[in-house]
Protein backbone atom coordinates (compact mmCIF):
# COMPACT_ATOMS: atom_id res chain seq x y z
CA UNK A 1 0.00 0.00 0.00
CA UNK A 2 1.10 3.60 -0.54
CA UNK A 3 2.77 5.68 2.18
CA UNK A 4 5.14 8.61 2.49
CA UNK A 5 8.48 6.90 2.87
CA UNK A 6 11.66 8.47 4.16
CA UNK A 7 14.28 6.48 2.25
CA UNK A 8 17.39 8.44 3.24
CA UNK A 9 18.14 11.30 5.62
CA UNK A 10 17.72 14.86 4.28
CA UNK A 11 15.90 13.70 1.15
CA UNK A 12 12.25 14.42 0.28
CA UNK A 13 9.62 11.93 1.39
CA UNK A 14 8.54 9.62 -1.43
CA UNK A 15 4.97 8.43 -1.93
CA UNK A 16 5.53 4.77 -2.69
CA UNK A 17 4.18 1.30 -2.06
CA UNK A 18 5.56 -0.54 0.94
CA UNK A 19 4.74 -3.69 2.85
CA UNK A 20 2.93 -3.46 6.19
CA UNK A 21 3.58 -7.15 6.81
CA UNK A 22 1.21 -9.62 8.40
CA UNK A 23 -1.56 -8.32 10.70
CA UNK A 24 -0.73 -9.90 14.05
CA UNK A 25 -3.19 -10.99 16.76
CA UNK A 26 -3.89 -8.06 19.10
CA UNK A 27 -3.49 -5.59 16.24
CA UNK A 28 -5.92 -3.84 13.92
CA UNK A 29 -5.56 -2.45 10.42
CA UNK A 30 -6.85 1.11 10.22
CA UNK A 31 -7.72 2.91 6.97
CA UNK A 32 -6.44 6.40 7.82
CA UNK A 33 -8.64 9.41 7.03
CA UNK A 34 -6.13 12.01 8.22
CA UNK A 35 -2.69 12.32 9.77
CA UNK A 36 -0.85 15.23 11.38
CA UNK A 37 2.75 16.41 11.51
CA UNK A 38 4.93 16.83 14.58
CA UNK A 39 8.36 18.40 14.94
CA UNK A 40 9.55 14.85 15.59
CA UNK A 41 8.84 13.98 11.93
CA UNK A 42 10.96 16.86 10.70
CA UNK A 43 13.79 16.06 13.13
CA UNK A 44 13.83 12.45 11.92
CA UNK A 45 14.23 13.60 8.30
CA UNK A 46 17.29 15.55 9.50
CA UNK A 47 18.73 12.60 11.42
CA UNK A 48 18.15 14.38 14.75
CA UNK A 49 16.58 11.45 16.53
CA UNK A 50 18.01 8.32 18.13
CA UNK A 51 17.54 4.87 16.58
CA UNK A 52 16.55 5.87 13.04
CA UNK A 53 16.00 2.88 10.67
CA UNK A 54 15.27 3.59 7.00
CA UNK A 55 13.24 3.34 4.84
CA UNK A 56 10.28 4.12 7.07
CA UNK A 57 6.84 5.72 6.80
CA UNK A 58 6.83 8.68 9.21
CA UNK A 59 3.92 10.07 11.19
CA UNK A 60 2.74 9.67 14.80
CA UNK A 61 -0.74 11.15 14.56
CA UNK A 62 -3.68 9.59 12.79
CA UNK A 63 -7.38 8.81 12.84
CA UNK A 64 -9.40 6.48 10.66
CA UNK A 65 -11.65 3.43 10.37
CA UNK A 66 -10.81 -0.12 11.45
CA UNK A 67 -10.93 -2.37 8.37
CA UNK A 68 -9.38 -5.60 9.64
CA UNK A 69 -8.45 -7.21 12.97
CA UNK A 70 -5.76 -9.76 13.69
CA UNK A 71 -7.97 -12.09 15.73
CA UNK A 72 -11.67 -12.94 15.91
CA UNK A 73 -11.91 -11.70 19.54
CA UNK A 74 -11.46 -8.14 18.32
CA UNK A 75 -14.15 -8.15 15.60
CA UNK A 76 -16.27 -5.63 17.54
CA UNK A 77 -13.68 -3.05 16.48
CA UNK A 78 -14.48 -3.49 12.78
CA UNK A 79 -15.86 -0.31 11.12
CA UNK A 80 -15.21 1.72 14.27
CA UNK A 81 -13.99 5.32 13.86
CA UNK A 82 -10.86 5.56 15.96
CA UNK A 83 -8.14 7.89 17.11
CA UNK A 84 -4.74 6.31 17.79
CA UNK A 85 -2.52 6.67 20.87
CA UNK A 86 0.91 7.01 19.24
CA UNK A 87 2.73 5.71 22.32
CA UNK A 88 3.33 2.00 22.98
CA UNK A 89 4.88 0.10 25.89
CA UNK A 90 4.86 2.99 28.36
CA UNK A 91 5.26 0.45 31.16
CA UNK A 92 3.91 0.28 34.69
CA UNK A 93 5.39 3.48 36.14
CA UNK A 94 3.10 6.50 35.72
CA UNK A 95 6.04 8.75 36.64
CA UNK A 96 8.08 7.92 33.52
CA UNK A 97 8.07 5.82 30.36
CA UNK A 98 9.97 2.52 30.20
CA UNK A 99 13.01 1.90 28.01
CA UNK A 100 10.70 -0.04 25.66
CA UNK A 101 8.47 2.99 25.00
CA UNK A 102 8.08 3.79 21.29
CA UNK A 103 6.04 6.23 19.22
CA UNK A 104 4.39 5.52 15.89
CA UNK A 105 6.47 6.57 12.90
CA UNK A 106 9.85 5.26 14.11
CA UNK A 107 10.82 2.47 14.66
CA UNK A 108 7.39 1.24 13.42
CA UNK A 109 5.76 2.51 10.23
CA UNK A 110 3.63 5.59 10.93
CA UNK A 111 0.50 7.41 9.87
CA UNK A 112 1.58 9.17 6.64
CA UNK A 113 -0.06 6.31 4.76
CA UNK A 114 -3.39 5.00 3.58
CA UNK A 115 -3.26 2.23 6.20
CA UNK A 116 -1.51 1.37 9.44
CA UNK A 117 -1.28 -1.59 11.83
CA UNK A 118 -1.80 -0.56 15.45
CA UNK A 119 -2.23 -2.43 18.75
CA UNK A 120 -5.91 -2.77 19.68
CA UNK A 121 -5.13 -1.17 23.05
CA UNK A 122 -3.82 1.97 21.30
CA UNK A 123 -7.22 2.71 19.75
CA UNK A 124 -9.93 4.86 21.32
CA UNK A 125 -13.26 6.00 19.85
CA UNK A 126 -12.88 9.19 17.83
CA UNK A 127 -14.46 12.10 19.76
CA UNK A 128 -17.75 12.77 17.94
CA UNK A 129 -17.43 16.56 17.86
CA UNK A 130 -14.19 16.41 15.89
CA UNK A 131 -13.70 16.25 12.13
CA UNK A 132 -11.21 13.70 10.81
CA UNK A 133 -8.62 16.43 10.44
CA UNK A 134 -9.20 17.64 14.01
CA UNK A 135 -9.07 14.11 15.38
CA UNK A 136 -5.78 13.45 13.60
CA UNK A 137 -4.38 16.72 14.97
CA UNK A 138 -4.97 15.65 18.56
CA UNK A 139 -3.00 12.57 19.71
CA UNK A 140 0.67 13.41 20.25
CA UNK A 141 0.21 17.12 20.96
CA UNK A 142 -2.84 16.36 23.08
CA UNK A 143 -1.25 13.73 25.28
CA UNK A 144 1.93 15.82 25.63
CA UNK A 145 -0.04 18.95 26.55
CA UNK A 146 -2.26 17.02 28.96
CA UNK A 147 0.66 15.41 30.76
CA UNK A 148 2.58 18.71 30.97
CA UNK A 149 -0.39 20.74 32.15
CA UNK A 150 -2.45 18.31 34.21
CA UNK A 151 -0.48 15.20 35.24
CA UNK A 152 2.94 16.79 35.77
CA UNK A 153 1.83 20.41 36.12
CA UNK A 154 -1.09 19.60 38.45
CA UNK A 155 -3.05 22.62 37.24
CA UNK A 156 -5.94 23.65 39.46
CA UNK A 157 -8.91 25.90 38.55
CA UNK A 158 -8.29 29.57 39.24
CA UNK A 159 -4.52 29.35 38.94
CA UNK A 160 -2.51 31.59 36.65
CA UNK A 161 -0.76 29.82 33.77
CA UNK A 162 1.84 31.11 31.34
CA UNK A 163 2.28 29.16 28.09
CA UNK A 164 5.44 30.21 26.30
CA UNK A 165 5.99 30.08 22.54
CA UNK A 166 2.32 29.90 21.60
CA UNK A 167 1.51 28.56 18.14
CA UNK A 168 2.98 25.07 18.30
CA UNK A 169 0.61 22.15 18.61
CA UNK A 170 1.39 21.32 22.23
CA UNK A 171 1.46 24.94 23.41
CA UNK A 172 -1.86 25.71 21.73
CA UNK A 173 -3.59 22.69 23.27
CA UNK A 174 -2.01 23.48 26.66
CA UNK A 175 -3.63 26.93 26.37
CA UNK A 176 -6.99 25.37 25.46
CA UNK A 177 -6.82 22.77 28.25
CA UNK A 178 -5.88 25.39 30.84
CA UNK A 179 -8.73 27.68 29.77
CA UNK A 180 -11.14 24.72 29.84
CA UNK A 181 -10.34 23.82 33.46
CA UNK A 182 -10.81 27.41 34.62
CA UNK A 183 -7.28 28.79 34.76
CA UNK A 184 -6.27 32.34 33.82
CA UNK A 185 -3.88 31.97 30.91
CA UNK A 186 -1.23 34.27 29.44
CA UNK A 187 0.99 33.39 26.48
CA UNK A 188 4.27 34.53 24.99
CA UNK A 189 5.44 34.64 21.39
CA UNK A 190 7.70 36.70 19.20
CA UNK A 191 4.76 37.12 16.79
CA UNK A 192 2.02 39.68 17.44
CA UNK A 193 -0.24 37.73 15.09
CA UNK A 194 0.13 34.59 17.22
CA UNK A 195 -0.54 36.57 20.40
CA UNK A 196 -3.76 37.83 18.81
CA UNK A 197 -4.82 34.31 17.80
CA UNK A 198 -4.14 33.05 21.34
CA UNK A 199 -6.53 35.65 22.74
CA UNK A 200 -9.26 34.30 20.45
CA UNK A 201 -8.67 30.93 22.14
CA UNK A 202 -9.13 32.38 25.64
CA UNK A 203 -5.74 33.78 26.66
CA UNK A 204 -6.30 36.93 28.72
CA UNK A 205 -2.81 38.36 28.08
CA UNK A 206 0.01 38.00 25.58
CA UNK A 207 3.63 39.14 25.83
CA UNK A 208 6.29 39.44 23.16
CA UNK A 209 9.38 37.76 24.63
CA UNK A 210 11.64 39.72 22.26
CA UNK A 211 10.52 42.92 24.02
CA UNK A 212 12.93 44.22 26.69
CA UNK A 213 11.38 43.93 30.15
CA UNK A 214 8.43 41.76 29.13
CA UNK A 215 8.58 39.93 32.45
CA UNK A 216 8.08 43.15 34.41
CA UNK A 217 5.12 44.04 32.23
CA UNK A 218 3.72 40.53 32.67
CA UNK A 219 4.18 40.59 36.45
CA UNK A 220 2.35 43.91 36.67
CA UNK A 221 -0.54 43.26 34.31
CA UNK A 222 -1.03 39.50 34.64
CA UNK A 223 0.67 38.57 37.93
CA UNK A 224 2.97 35.70 38.84
CA UNK A 225 2.10 32.40 37.16
CA UNK A 226 1.52 29.35 39.35
CA UNK A 227 2.28 27.15 36.35
CA UNK A 228 4.52 27.79 33.35
CA UNK A 229 4.46 25.48 30.33
CA UNK A 230 7.65 25.85 28.28
CA UNK A 231 9.53 23.98 25.57
CA UNK A 232 12.32 26.48 24.90
CA UNK A 233 14.48 26.62 28.06
CA UNK A 234 17.76 28.34 27.00
CA UNK A 235 18.49 31.94 27.91
CA UNK A 236 14.85 32.76 28.58
CA UNK A 237 14.62 30.18 31.36
CA UNK A 238 16.03 32.62 33.93
CA UNK A 239 13.05 34.89 33.25
CA UNK A 240 10.66 32.02 33.89
CA UNK A 241 12.29 31.17 37.22
CA UNK A 242 12.11 34.86 38.16
CA UNK A 243 8.48 35.38 37.18
CA UNK A 244 7.08 32.14 38.70
CA UNK A 245 4.90 32.60 41.78
CA UNK A 246 6.10 31.24 45.14
CA UNK A 247 5.37 27.51 45.08
CA UNK A 248 5.08 27.69 41.29
CA UNK A 249 5.80 24.92 38.79
CA UNK A 250 7.69 25.23 35.51
CA UNK A 251 7.06 22.28 33.21
CA UNK A 252 9.36 21.71 30.22
CA UNK A 253 8.31 19.31 27.49
CA UNK A 254 11.32 20.30 25.42
CA UNK A 255 14.33 22.57 25.35
CA UNK A 256 14.57 23.81 21.79
CA UNK A 257 16.92 26.68 22.65
CA UNK A 258 19.22 24.52 24.79
CA UNK A 259 20.28 24.48 28.40
CA UNK A 260 19.61 27.47 30.66
CA UNK A 261 22.59 29.74 31.23
CA UNK A 262 22.37 29.45 34.98
CA UNK A 263 19.92 28.01 37.45
CA UNK A 264 19.20 30.28 40.40
CA UNK A 265 19.16 27.68 43.16
CA UNK A 266 18.44 30.32 45.80
CA UNK A 267 15.18 31.20 44.04
CA UNK A 268 14.49 27.49 43.60
CA UNK A 269 14.48 26.72 47.30
CA UNK A 270 13.38 30.05 48.72
CA UNK A 271 10.38 30.26 46.37
CA UNK A 272 9.80 26.50 46.76
CA UNK A 273 9.62 26.09 42.98
CA UNK A 274 9.26 22.84 41.08
CA UNK A 275 11.07 22.46 37.75
CA UNK A 276 9.40 19.56 36.04
CA UNK A 277 10.26 17.55 32.96
CA UNK A 278 7.53 16.02 30.84
CA UNK A 279 7.40 14.18 27.54
CA UNK A 280 4.62 12.38 25.69
CA UNK A 281 2.25 10.58 28.07
CA UNK A 282 0.98 7.28 29.44
CA UNK A 283 -2.21 5.47 28.39
CA UNK A 284 -3.84 7.07 31.46
CA UNK A 285 -2.77 10.49 30.20
CA UNK A 286 -4.20 9.68 26.76
CA UNK A 287 -7.56 8.69 28.27
CA UNK A 288 -7.54 11.74 30.54
CA UNK A 289 -6.82 13.96 27.55
CA UNK A 290 -9.72 12.51 25.53
CA UNK A 291 -12.08 12.90 28.49
CA UNK A 292 -11.12 16.56 28.84
CA UNK A 293 -11.45 17.18 25.09
CA UNK A 294 -14.89 15.53 24.97
CA UNK A 295 -16.19 17.17 28.14
CA UNK A 296 -15.30 20.67 26.94
CA UNK A 297 -15.68 19.98 23.20
CA UNK A 298 -12.17 21.26 22.62
CA UNK A 299 -11.11 21.43 18.97
CA UNK A 300 -7.42 21.42 18.10
CA UNK A 301 -6.46 24.33 15.90
CA UNK A 302 -5.65 23.38 12.31
CA UNK A 303 -3.03 25.52 10.63
CA UNK A 304 -3.27 24.09 7.14
CA UNK A 305 -4.41 20.89 5.43
CA UNK A 306 -2.37 19.19 2.71
CA UNK A 307 -2.97 16.00 0.74
CA UNK A 308 -0.81 12.93 1.38
CA UNK A 309 0.95 13.63 -1.93
CA UNK A 310 1.84 17.11 -0.61
CA UNK A 311 3.76 15.69 2.36
CA UNK A 312 6.97 17.54 1.52
CA UNK A 313 5.12 20.86 1.30
CA UNK A 314 3.64 20.11 4.72
CA UNK A 315 7.12 19.45 6.14
CA UNK A 316 8.36 22.70 4.58
CA UNK A 317 5.51 24.57 6.30
CA UNK A 318 6.66 23.10 9.63
CA UNK A 319 10.29 23.98 8.95
CA UNK A 320 9.33 27.64 8.42
CA UNK A 321 7.83 27.78 11.95
CA UNK A 322 5.07 30.18 10.90
CA UNK A 323 2.22 27.82 11.75
CA UNK A 324 -0.40 28.34 14.41
CA UNK A 325 -1.79 24.94 15.32
CA UNK A 326 -1.37 21.66 13.54
CA UNK A 327 -0.34 20.87 9.99
CA UNK A 328 -2.57 18.06 8.73
CA UNK A 329 -2.52 15.57 5.86
CA UNK A 330 -5.92 14.56 4.45
CA UNK A 331 -5.71 10.99 3.17
Let me know if 278 is exposed, middle or buried by CB neighbors in 10 A (0-12, 13-18, 19+): buried
> Which sign, positive or negative, has the C-alpha torsion 140, 142, 143, 148?
positive
Choices 133-141, 204-212, 270-278, 319-327; region in contact with a second copy by CB under 8 A: 270-278
* Binding to a second copy in span 93-152, by CB under 8 A: 93-97, 152
Which C-beta is closer to a second copy: that of 239 or that of 312?
A: 239
Which C-beta is closer to a second copy: that of 3 or that of 105?
A: 105
Instruction: Give me the residues paired with residue 286 across strands.
Output: none
Helix axes 169-180, 283-295, angle to 10 degrees: 60
Q: Based on the shown chain and the rule CB under 8 A, indicate whether residue 279 belongs to the binding site for a second copy.
A: yes
Give the C-alpha separation, 229 to 245, whole Å: 13
Report the length, in residues, of the chain: 331
Q: Based on the shown chain and the rule CB under 8 A, indicate whether residue 180 belongs to the binding site for a second copy.
A: no
- Which of residues 9, 16, 54, 259 is near a second copy by CB under 8 A? 259
Q: How far is the CB of 119 from a second copy (least distance, A)?
A: 22
Q: How far is the CB of 278 from a second copy (least distance, A)?
A: 6
Q: How far is the CB of 15 from a second copy (least distance, A)?
A: 32
CB atoms within 10 A of CB 55: 14
Give the C-alpha separation, 144 to 228, whole Å: 14
* Site map (CB under 8 A) of a second copy, residues 224-253, x = contact: ---------x-----------xxxx---xx
Q: Based on the shown chain and the rule CB under 8 A, indicate whether residue 51 belongs to the binding site for a second copy.
A: no
Q: Based on the shown chain and the rule CB under 8 A, indicate whether residue 263 belongs to the binding site for a second copy.
A: yes
Instruction: Find the distance separating the first CA and the last CA of the chain, reported in whole Å.
Output: 13
- Which of residues 58, 205, 275, 290 is near a second copy by CB under 8 A? 275
Supply φ then ψ for residue 206, to 5 degrees.
-140, 140
Choices 77-85, 91-99, 205-213, 300-308; region in contact with a second copy by CB under 8 A: 91-99
* Residues 284/157, Cβ–Cβ less than 8 Å: no
Q: Which residues bind a second copy (CB under 8 A)?
A: 93-97, 152, 233, 245-248, 252-255, 258-260, 262-279
Amino acid sequence: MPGLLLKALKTPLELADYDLGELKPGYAKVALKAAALNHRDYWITQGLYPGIELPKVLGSDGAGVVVEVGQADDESWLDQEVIINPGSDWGTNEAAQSDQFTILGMPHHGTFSTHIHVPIEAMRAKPKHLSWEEAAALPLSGVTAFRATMSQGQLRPGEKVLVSGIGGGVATLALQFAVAVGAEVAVTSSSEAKLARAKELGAIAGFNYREEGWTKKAAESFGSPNLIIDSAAGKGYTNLVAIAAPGGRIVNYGATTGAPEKLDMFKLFWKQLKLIGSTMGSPADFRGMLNLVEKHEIRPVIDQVFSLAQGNEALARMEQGEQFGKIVLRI
